[in-house]
Chain A
Amino acid sequence: QLQLQESGPGVVKPSETLSLTCTVSGGSISSSNYYWGWIRQPPGKGLEWIGNIYYSGSTHYNPSLKSRVTISLDTSKNHFSLKLSSVTAADTAVYYCAKETHLDYWGQGTLVTVSS
């Protein structure tokens, strides 16, 4: 039974970089051919796909965010990470990590507010 948990700052200043980590327990992120992904939801709005990373390290990103997004894997710590640069108030959202293959496991989500 996998469990995913997001962690990172709850507040980020405009123009800075948002950094979140998703720690996976109950299984290895590198042992199976799964995709791991990030999805966000601005307050009161719908879900937006951010991007994913394959267990081998290859990535896919939302074209609208691609210039600012980096997703990486750290197999030694069994976690994957999201970096979003040059944030604005529009990046304020609940950020979810998930096992994207079959989307059967999700984190609980973490609210990140962009504010000075």
Chain B
Amino acid sequence: QAVVTQEPSLTVSPGGTVTLTCDSSTGPVTSGHYPYWFQQKPGQAPKTLIFDTHIKHSWTPARFSGSLLGGKAALTLSGAQPEDEADYYCFLFYSGARVLGGGTKLTVL
């Protein structure tokens, strides 16, 4: 089974920019993995921000964007807000099976 790797933790200053990445043990992440990004705050269900690499839901703040970067999926937050402090997970498709990354704890400080 594939292993999906994310940075365990990152810190960004308020108003700053940060990029979270998602790597696959089987090789480069492509659009064929249909990367998803979830945000989860303590005690809450996850909320999906991005699907199919870069597509936003209606509730996704404009400051979040998804892309492919150097063989990885990436979630970029531009203009971080205190309310963006949360855990972020990526989710990749592998011919039927799905695999979740271990999550990145993002601190806004």
Q: B-contacting residues of A (Cβ < 8 Å)?
A: 37, 39, 46-49, 52, 60-64, 96, 100, 102-104, 106-109
Contacts and interface: CB of A to CB of B under 8 A. Distances in A.
B1 A63 contact: yes
Given A96-B46, A109-B45, A103 B91 contact: yes
Contacts of B103: 46-47
9 contacts: A39-B46, A46-B100, A47-B100, A49-B99, A49-B100, A62-B97, A102-B51, A103-B48, A106-B47
A107 B47 CA distance: 11
Contacts of A104: 48, 57
Interface of B: 1, 36, 38, 40, 45-48, 51, 57, 87, 89, 91, 96-103
B42 to A, nearest CB: 11
Contacts of A60: 96-98
B46 A49 contact: no
Given A102-B51, A109-B45, A48 B100 contact: yes
